[in-house]
Structure 1
Amino acid sequence: MNKSALAVILTVAFSSSAFAAEADVAADIPVTPMNASRVAVDTSGSNGNIANAVDQAIMDAVAKSMPAKSVEEYKASQQAQQPVGVDSYGMPIVQGTKVKTVDDAPLYTQQGQPPAIAATPVPTVAPQVRGSSDPITDSVRSKYKPHQEVTIAPGHGELIPVAAGLQNRIQTPFKDALVKTADMEVPIQTDGGFVYITPLSQAPIGIMVGERGMPETMVSLTLMPLDVPPVMVDVKVKMDATTKAKHAEFIAKLQADKEKNDFLTEARKGPTIENDPRVNTEHENRATSLLAEVAGGNIPNGFDITTDIPAEERYPCDIVRMGMYHEVGQRMISGREIIDVVLVKNDINGFREVREEYCLADDVISVGVFDRATLAPGETTELYILRDKLYNEKLKRVRTRPRLTSSY
């Protein structure tokens, strides 16, 4: 039997069954009639044969056009409902799966650290809150103060924190500080014993500072520029007794030379008198050679020596300024000049300096100290004074008149 014959038979069977009984038709249609008075509805029956056949035909047609999985799920839902068990959380229990029910909620624990790997252990380093990773820089930073005092011996070094990009001042005990450094780009200025330096970066700067002309007084300073305010450093150089005495004598000589040069400079600014050794270079050289010859223990040509000194001329220097014992012990006289040899003794405590200007007067041409200018307690030296012998006679020849505006 082919498919066409089967379809005709089903159609005839369906038509004959549909018109067999009106009551059966009304009962088989699962829809409430719009007018119950016209169509008798039998509510006593459930599902008839025709309705079941129609439903099955519709489902078969729909099943052919739907995925196989959707049809299986639908068929499973249409099966007779069986009581399904649920677990303690209200979830359905799938058959064939064993579910362990618990009375209490499970305990959850925090996941631990991953297992250790067999490798070389790495030490844990605490993070640095401030400072840098360089321990030397951190040590210098801890020493920072706006005003610092550093005591150091000659030939030794010191690390000093300074401000980067700002001017810093370093005070030294030297009269004329000499600064030596390999960094020629750093601005450095000196003013007597003060050193002014401005670091241009945070790179360390090494300098050596000492007295100009005395390299044995040099000290080494390593400046560490930091982001801090400007610094004023007071460097105290701790010298031994020998170096300290040599330094004091050196400073005294520098001061004496400076005062002598200043005196000669001022003297040359006045009117030039040919025979005045105080302003004439030729006579200045002669005065120097005379005093040098006397300091060597000789008597210059044309001079006679005597120890008979008038009492009023035995102490020619200013005793208040000199502060030490002094007395004229010898006098050399020529036709125009007088040379006094003065004994000076340090009869008090501490080092004392012999200054030529303490013995200057109107009749004095030149004063010189050739042996030593700084005396320790108990030490002595000679001081030489060249005088103009005719000075008093020149004053006598000067004619003066009484002033009208005063009694003198």
Structure 2
Amino acid sequence: MSLPVSLHFFKPAALVMAMAAVMPAIAQEQIQIPGMNMPVAASTQPQVVAKPAPSPESGPERQEEPQGEKKPRLVAITPGSVENPSVPASVVKKPTPVQPIESRQDVVVASGTNTLIPISRGQINRLVTPFDNPHIQTVSEADISTSGNVIYVTTQDEKPVTMFVTPEDDESVAISLTLLPQGVPPIQANLILAKNVQGLASGMPVTSSTNYSGQARKWERSQPYMDTLRSLMREMALGKLPRGYSFGALTSGNKIPACAQPSLSFDFSKSQLIEGHDFRVFVATAENVSARTVEFDHGSCTHPHRAAVSAWPDEVLEPGQKTEVFVVTRVPTEVPQSSTRPSLLQ
């Protein structure tokens, strides 16, 4: 006995069964549904991904963060030797080394003669005088100060700075200076005093450079004459300079001591000249060139103004042995022997 089935009940049920049957065929390009002939693209169907069941050990699932805009990938490219060839060292420009500027000057000055000295404008300048405590007479508005035997001068103006410089206790000696401000580095001028004396026949001034030092004069005259010579020799032997003494330059006008002794060879080619106010010291070497022992004779060295002679560290020399020889001379006081009268016909 057959039961009648309503046609309206069959159509919805058949549609549901057909949809369940075609779920595994998602990847196909077309899906056939009974009663419907409609091509459907597989890419438009939502894909269902089965998620694994969470285990008891695992924690709660992390919510997937929405993917933002993708950033471009950066790739570092190292240039090769072909793209960036090396530059030869000869082509590379080398920095020019800074050349040192000599700012120290030795200036010979004379009493009664004006001397022009360039100085730095806007910078401090240093003048080393031969006086212990120099006195300055000037009408310049420059900043002028003293410290010991040194004068410091600073000016912002382009006008020359003029001054007279005299020792503390002697107004008969005066140095006349004219300082010319220029765009140069700071200047240090070492003033060396020269004495002017009248010649006998020609009447022309004869200039001899002397190291006028107030400190040396005080040291030399603070004790008797013989004690000064002993102290001077002791300082020379110890390699020291007495207060106020300085190294001088040997010029053609200097009279070098004459030393001669058998078996000894004296060398003044590299001698030293050490100047004070009243004394000068010549330092040379003596070598035993014989095959026997020789004792140095103090009388073997002569000079027109000899004051003392000594040798250190040895006076008895073995063959081939050397020693230093010290010859102390007095600085002569140059006084003209007679006065001259200029001719009216000239």
Question: TM (normalized to structure 2)?
Answer: 0.31
The structure in which a higher percent of residues are helix is: 1
Answer 1 or 2: higher relative contact order, Cα 8 Å, separation at least 6. 2
Structure with greater Cα Rg: 1
Question: TM (normalized to structure 1)?
Answer: 0.26
